[in-house]
Structures are given as structure tokens and as C-alpha cells.
């Protein structure tokens, strides 16, 4: 039998005015990925699940992003922000089945664990018609309060603005997420009114309505950290901190050494192999994979790059998108690579820019070498053969090809291809004038020198 479906309605129509941003709130990034991406990815981890996103009228950007990530995402538009129940109701047209479980979650709550939502969906499938994610915050502040009956069952949810003093004293709060049997959800939502302090259609009101129809409602308690929403830049930074802590722990649990974990910043998709050592103050932008035994030394920045086994990067290296650093290769201090294939055992040890290039296996690139890849309009490729030796302070003006095993003299500006095993250099002849310095000094230091200011 096919498993029952789970549909996650992700409410994201709120304007997010407190972010003070031109970017819609749910597109602000945490660990290199928009908040909404984290939420969609959590949903994708649930079996047989699909998302329906509720956006505001001017949020095509949000819809496009969601479709790009999960093409089967349904999009519903809430023209006016009349409240969370009204927003959830907008998803109705995108949900044809009235079977299975619907999760209602928020696009600005990116720290939810997939297990939490899976547990809620299971309970809703097997034991209850509605499951509400509750939590006990350190400061219950303005959260909705979960009111239990004498038997300890969830009776209703009261928004803080509408709560009486005894209700405000309740410490069990509404975390926002709910699982509801699909057959009841839209009927309940359509019965919600807006006769309350905010004049809004409150999603939590479906609990009281469900109880009055004899349906069962449960609370599943979660951690405060998971329900942490993002409303301001400060909240965004707090969510980033939680995500980074999780990513650091996962990296170490996977067998990487982080010398000073708190100073290392990961992206959501960073992959580290076993026995990778990451020094202090390393930043991983999106799209980095580091294979077993590689060492990323302090103060390096990597993005969109592959680092093969036992390679050494840094300290102070900048590995930009399209870089591939081969097995046992070495990229030293103040070296920048971009769209560069550094093959096995090659060394670029100091102060270089290698862009749009291949550096063949075991080639040695001297200090200060620059691939001149750009003429202001176009990019050109530099191909350096295996075992080549590029002398320090060389400029390789692309397009140019250096044959295998060739030597380039220091300080050369190489504009023409060099054949394998040749020596090429472009360097004026050295001139020596013997005794010149001594004569010069004597002249300038003599007491009767004409001193003028
Ligand atoms: C909501 C709950 C509250 C709970 C809290 C947990 C309601 C009425 N209250 O309050 O019980 O303790 O979450 O964080 O649900 N949205 C829309 N359209 C709207 C209104 C909101 O899409 O018309 C979206 C927002 O973009 C946001 C989410 O729904 O992603 C939650 O809305 P928000 O206004 O933040 O609800 P809270 O006041 O936090
Ligand atoms: Mg909120």
C-alpha cells in the first residue's frame, strides 16, 4: 500500500518589515542557503512529502527560488495578510487530496529538525487529528499559550494578546507548527473568525473548533531552539549561530578535526572527509568538498571547490569557485585560485593568482606567479604541463600553453607557447658596472658637497 502523503504548507506571506530589507525575509541566508531552502529541505526528508508555499503578492522571487529547489512545490498567493489561518486556507487550491497529513509550518523558522516533523506526522496519522508543536521557552513573552483540559489534553490555544492573566501564566507555548488530518483542515480553517484583539484569522483557533467537533488534539513538546523564528537581523544572526554549532558538531562527528571549532564557518552543504584537519578561522562558502586527510590551514576561504585527499591549503589561501585541488597538491599562503585545475602533487606555494588554468601534475609554480587571464572583456586559459617549473614573479599572458617539463625563468612575461622540456625566459641582460656604488657614495658623502634643500 502506498504511504499516506504529507503536504507541508509553508506560510511565508508575511512582509518581514523588521528585517528592513529589500530582500523577502525567507530569502535571507543561513549557512549560505536561504532560510526557505532549509525549510524545504527539511520537508524533502520526510517520506512521501511535498510542499505548498504561501507567498505575498509581490514575491515572485520567493516562488521562483522554491520551484528551482523543489519543482513540485505548489505556490499559493495570499493577497492580503489577514492572519495565519487565512494564509493556510490559501493553500487549499494547491492540495487536491483530502487524505493524509498536512503540516502547517512557517518559512521563517529554519531550525526545525526533520525528526520533529516526522514524529508529528506519525502521531497525526495514528493517534490524533491535530498535533501542535509545543515548547517551554525561557521567556514565554508573546507566544500563544496552550490551554490543557483537566485530563491534560490540548483544549485550545490562546494568543497572548487575547489571553487572561491565568492563561498568560501558562508556560507551555505554541511553537507554530501543526500537523492536521487533511480531511478536516480546510473545513476547520474556513470556520475560523477574526473577532480577536488583532482582528486576524488565527490558525491556532482550529484547535478549539476541532475539540468542539469531538476531534482529538495533542501537544508534542519540542526544543526552544527548533521553533526559533527569524523576524529581525539579530534573530538571523542567532539562527546562524545555532546552525553553525550544528554543522561544526556534524563535521567532528564525521571524523574531521577542527582545531578551534567556534572560529570555523560552514555552509549548509560543506562535505569533509575523514581525518580532514581544519585550522582556526577557516570559512567554507557553498559547494565545497574536501576529501580524506586534507589539511585546511588557518585563515583560508574556500567556495565552490573540490579538494582531493591529502592536499594542503593555506594558511591564508583563497580557493574560489571552479577550483579543483588534486591529491597531495599544495596551495600556500596568499594564493588565489579560480576555475583552476591543480593536478596531483602540484605546488603553488606563495603569493600567486591562478585563474582559468590547469597546473599539471607535480608542476611547481614559483612565488608571485600570475596567470593574466583577462583583457577587460574576455577570459583566456593558461595550460601548464606536468612537471613544469615556473620561476618566481612570472606573468603568463593567456591564452598560453607551457609544455610538460618546461622551465620558465624568473620574472618572465610569457606570451607565447613553450615547448616541452624547453627553457623560456624574457629578461633583459644583466649589466654590471664595477665600483660604481663606491664612487657614488664617495661623491655624495664628501664634506664639500653642495648641500641644497
Ligand atoms: C504565531 C502563532 C503563535 C505562536 C507563534 C510561534 C498565530 C496567530 N500565532 O504567532 O501562537 O506562539 O507563531 O512563533 O498563528 N503569515 C502569513 N500570512 C499572514 C500572517 C502570517 O503568511 O497573514 C506567515 C508569516 O510570514 C510567518 C508565519 O505566518 O512566516 C507566522 O506569522 P507571525 O505573524 O510571525 O505569527 P506570530 O505572531 O509569531
Ligand atoms: Mg512569528
Mean pLDDT by 10 residues, the chain (453 residues): 83 94 96 98 96 96 97 97 97 90 98 97 96 96 95 96 97 97 97 97 98 97 95 97 98 98 98 98 98 98 98 98 98 98 98 98 98 97 98 98 98 98 96 98 86 61
Task: Tell me, yes or no, whether 151 and 253 share the same domain.
Answer: no
For ligand 2, the distance from its centroid to the CA atom of residue 178, given in whole angstroms, is 14
For ligand 2, the distance from its centroid to the CA atom of residue 88, given in whole angstroms, is 15
pLDDT computed for residue 452 by the predictor: 61
Is residue 228 in contact with ligand 1, taking CB distance under 6 Å?
no
**Backbone CA torsion sign across 304, 308, 310, 311:** negative
Q: Which of 106, 136, 160, 172 to mutate to test the pocket of ligand 1 (most atoms within 8 A of CB)?
A: 106
Task: Tell me, yes or no, whether 403 and 265 share the same domain.
Answer: yes
Inside any domain, residue 384 = yes
For ligand 1, the distance from its centroid to the CA atom of residue 159, given in whole angstroms, is 11
Q: Which of 28, 38, 86, 350 is catalytic?
A: 350
- Model pTM above 0.85: yes
pLDDT computed for residue 2 by the predictor: 54
Residue 82 three-state SS: coil
Q: Which of 14, 51, 137, 232 to mutate to test the pocket of ligand 1 (most atoms within 8 A of CB)?
A: 14
Is residue 107 in contact with ligand 1, taking CB distance under 6 Å?
yes
Task: Tell me, yes or no, whether 191 and 311 share the same domain.
Answer: no
Is residue 222 in contact with ligand 1, taking CB distance under 6 Å?
no
Q: What is the CATH number of the domain that holds 312?
A: 2.160.10.10
Angle at Cα 134 formed by Cα 131 and Cα 138, nearest 5°? 175
Task: Tell me, yes or no, whether 18 and 130 share the same domain.
Answer: yes
Inside any domain, residue 447 = no
Is residue 110 in contact with ligand 1, taking CB distance under 6 Å?
no
pLDDT computed for residue 451 by the predictor: 60
pLDDT computed for residue 449 by the predictor: 72
Q: Is 350 a catalytic residue?
A: yes
Inside any domain, residue 429 = no
DSSP H or E segment with residue 278: strand 277-278
* Maximum pairwise Cα distance, the chain: 113
Euclidean distance between CA atoms 433 and 239, whole angstroms:
68
pLDDT computed for residue 1 by the predictor: 43
Residue 451 three-state SS: coil
In 3-state terms the chain splits into helix, strand, coil percentages (rounded to 5) of: 25, 30, 45
Amino acid at each position: 500500500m502506498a504511504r499516506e502523503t504529507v503536504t507541508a504548507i509553508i506560510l511565508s506571506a508575511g512582509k518581514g518589515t523588521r528585517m528592513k530589507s529589500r530582500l523577502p525575509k525567507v530569502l535571507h541566508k543561513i549557512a549560505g542557503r536561504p532560510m526557505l531552502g532549509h525549510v524545504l529541505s527539511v520537508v524533502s526528508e520526510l517520506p512521501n512529502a511535498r510542499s505548498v508555499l504561501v507567498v505575498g503578492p509581490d514575491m515572485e522571487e520567493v516562488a521562483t527560488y522554491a520551484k528551482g529547489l523543489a519543482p513540485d512545490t505548489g505556490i499559493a498567493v495570499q493577497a492580503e495578510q489577514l492572519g495565519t489561518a487565512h494564509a493556510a486556507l490559501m493553500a487549499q487550491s494547491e492540495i487536491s487530496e483530502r487524505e493524509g497529513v498536512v503540516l502547517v509550518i512557517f518559512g521563517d523558522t529554519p531550525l526545525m529538525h526533520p525528526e520533529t516533523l516526522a514524529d508529528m506526522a506519525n502521531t497525526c496519522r495514528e493517534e490524533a487529528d491535530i498535533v501542535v508543536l509545543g515548547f517551554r521557552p525561557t521567556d514565554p513573552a508573546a507566544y500563544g499559550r496552550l490551554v490543557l483540559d483537566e485530563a491534560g489534553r490540548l483544549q485550545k490555544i490562546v494568543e497572548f494578546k487575547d489571553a487572561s492573566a491565568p492563561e498568560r501564566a501558562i508556560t507551555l507555548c505554541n511553537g507554530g507548527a501543526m500537523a492536521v488530518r487533511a480531511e478536516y483542515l480546510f473545513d476547520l480553517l474556513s470556520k475560523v473568525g477574526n473577532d480577536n484583539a488583532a482582528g486576524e484569522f488565527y490558525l491556532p483557533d482550529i484547535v478549539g473548533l476541532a475539540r468542539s467537533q469531538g476531534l482529538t488534539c495533542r501537544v508534542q513538546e519540542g526544543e526552544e531552539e527548533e521553533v526559533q523564528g527569524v523576524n529581525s537581523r539579530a534573530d538571523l544572526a542567532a539562527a546562524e549561530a545555532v546552525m553553525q554549532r550544528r554543522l561544526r558538531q556534524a563535521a567532528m562527528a564525521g571524523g574531521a578535526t577542527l582545531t578551534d571549532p567556534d572560529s570555523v564557518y560552514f555552509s549548509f552543504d560543506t562535505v569533509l572527509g575523514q581525518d580532514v584537519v581544519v585550522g582556526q578561522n577557516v570559512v567554507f562558502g557553498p559547494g565545497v568538498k574536501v576529501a580524506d586527510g586534507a589539511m585546511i590551514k588557518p585563515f583560508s576561504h574556500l567556495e565552490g571547490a573540490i579538494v582531493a585527499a591529502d592536499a594542503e591549503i593555506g594558511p591564508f589561501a583563497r580557493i574560489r569557485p571552479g577550483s579543483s585541488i588534486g591529491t597531495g597538491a599544495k596551495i600556500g599562503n596568499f594564493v588565489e585560485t579560480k576555475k583552476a585545475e591543480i593536478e596531483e602533487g602540484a605546488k603553488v606555494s606563495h603569493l600567486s593568482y591562478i585563474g582559468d588554468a590547469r597546473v599539471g601534475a607535480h608542476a611547481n609554480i614559483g612565488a608571485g606567479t600570475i596567470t593574466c587571464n583577462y583583457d577587460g572583456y574576455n577570459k583566456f586559459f593558461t595550460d601548464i604541463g606536468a612537471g613544469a617549473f615556473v620561476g618566481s614573479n612570472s606573468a603568463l599572458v593567456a591564452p598560453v600553453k607551457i609544455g610538460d617539463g618546461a622551465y620558465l625563468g624568473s620574472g618572465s612575461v610569457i606570451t607565447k607557447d613553450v615547448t616541452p622540456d624547453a627553457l623560456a625566459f624574457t629578461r633583459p641582460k644583466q649589466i654590471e658596472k664595477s665600483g660604481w656604488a663606491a664612487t657614488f657614495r664617495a661623491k655624495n658623502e664628501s664634506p664639500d658637497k653642495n648641500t641644497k634643500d
